[in-house]
């Protein structure tokens, strides 16, 4: 139906389970001394099982880096940057690092071995795809200028990201070069992630607008682009999505969604909503999460936005 970030998620948010550890988790250092576990608003919501998994995961990070970068002799000790966070294998006691690593664990039901595999695969993919270059690439505004918007925040401070696929846009120009579209889409995702401080906010809301999209406008290229994007985001951007709304969805796409609903993991399904057309209908779905002043008028809010 569309790219669906985080489809592999199989656990519920950490906040759904009560926190019964102290505000300052204590960890034994190699010398036997105790050190305070750095905390922020997000790590304070980790459950005891999550802390146990995280501590075990930390021990695997040097080997994971060596596997991700086999050509680098210092891979086990060299720091890397992921989503604006420095991950230093010699000092992993950092709250924001904990938040990033926990995403891979939650995406794999707190399995350290499976989380490690996902982490390695993500680092390898980022190198192969050359995410850094994609983020610096200049994309034609006449093709991509109106395709994506980051506007406003939800009531909990999460950024709201809009993908507008229909309207008067030339879909053949957008999807004519599938790899260019994917580079744009990844760069747009990375730009969205920059708005997550990973201190109090580590997820976003996405709104996918299909107004103007029809069966005839979806050719092989657009289908391939959607499929590849779905694979990228579900495999390499875990637990970054809070909720996703599909709005102005054509009736045929609604039918496809319900057809494949049994195949979608329940945790992912809980994040997804298919909404009809019209500002009033869309507003009823979005306004419980997003204040009217933060929501564009075209979607039932009060904001003068794109």
Q: Give residue-wise pLDDT tens across range 116-143.
A: 999 999 999 999 999 999 999 999 999 9
Residues of the chain with pLDDT > 90, as a percent, come to 72
pLDDT confidence tier of residue 166, bands split at 50, 70 and 90: confident
Report in angstroms the alpha-carbon separations of 53 from 48, 66, 114, 285.
9, 20, 11, 36
Residue 180 has pLDDT above 60, yes or no: yes
3-class DSSP assignment, residue 303: strand
99, 133, 167: which is the final residue of a domain?
A: 133
**Looking at the structure, do residues 153 and 290 belong to the same domain, yes or no?**
yes
Six-digit token pair at 244?
A: 């996703």
The answer to whether 288 touches 132, Cβ cutoff 8 Å, is no
Provide the CATH number for the domain around residue 207: 3.40.525.10
Query: Which of 133, 157, 179 corresponds to the end of one domain?
Result: 133
pLDDT band at 256 (very low <50, low <70, confident <90, very high): low
Angle, helix 220-236 to helix 112-129, in steps of 10 degrees: 130
Task: Find the range with the poorest average confidence among 66-80, 162-176, 267-281.
Answer: 162-176
Structural domain including 67 reads 14-133
Q: Rounded to whole angstroms, how far apart are CA atoms 264 and 221?
A: 24
Same domain, 167 and 294: yes
> What is the reported pTM?
0.86
pLDDT, one tens digit per residue, over 76-114 is: 999 999 999 999 999 999 999 999 999 999 999 999 999
Q: What is the dihedral of CA 36, 41, 42, 43, to 10 degrees?
A: 10
Which domain-ending residue is among 89, 118, 133? 133
Total count of domains within the chain: 2
DSSP state letters, 116-155: HHHHHHHHHHHHHHTHHHHHHPPPPHHHHTTTEEEEEE-T
Residues 38 and 61 reside in one and the same domain: yes
Same domain, 228 and 295: yes
- Closest Cα to residue 62, out of 116, 102, 103? 116
């Amino acid at each position: 139906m569309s790219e669906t970030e985080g489809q592999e998620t199989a656990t519920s948010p950490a906040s759904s389970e009560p926190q019964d550890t102290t505000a300052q988790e204590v960890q034994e250092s190699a010398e036997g001394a105790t050190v305070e576990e750095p905390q922020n608003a997000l790590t304070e919501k980790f459950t005891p099982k999550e802390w146990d998994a995280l501590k075990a995961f930390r021990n695997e990070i040097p080997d994971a880096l060596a596997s991700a970068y086999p050509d680098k002799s210092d891979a086990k000790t060299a720091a890397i940057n992921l989503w604006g966070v420095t991950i230093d294998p010699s000092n992993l006691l950092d709250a924001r690092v904990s938040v990033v690593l926990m995403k891979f664990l939650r995406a794999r039901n707190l399995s350290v071995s499976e989380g490690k595999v996902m982490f390695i695969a993500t680092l390898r993919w980022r190198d192969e795809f050359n995410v850094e270059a994609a983020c610096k690439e200049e994309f034609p505004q006449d093709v991509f200028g109106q395709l994506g918007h980051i506007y406003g925040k939800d009531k909990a401070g999460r950024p709201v990201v809009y993908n507008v696929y229909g309207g008067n846009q030339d879909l053949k120009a957008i999807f004519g070069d599938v790899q260019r579209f994917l580079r744009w889409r990844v760069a747009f995702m990375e730009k969205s992630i920059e708005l997550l401080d990973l201190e109090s906010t580590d997820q976003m809301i996405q709104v996918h607008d299909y107004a103007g999209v029809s069966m005839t406008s979806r050719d092989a290229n657009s289908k391939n682009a959607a499929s590849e994007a779905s694979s990228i985001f579900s495999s390499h951007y875990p637990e970054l999505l809070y909720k996703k709304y599909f709005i102005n969805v054509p009736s045929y796409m609604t039918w496809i969604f319900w057809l494949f609903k049994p195949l979608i993991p329940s945790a992912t399904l809980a994040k997804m909503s298919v909404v009809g057309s019209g500002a009033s209908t869309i507003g009823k779905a979005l306004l419980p999460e997003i204040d009217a002043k933060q929501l564009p008028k075209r979607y039932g809010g009060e904001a003068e936005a794109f």
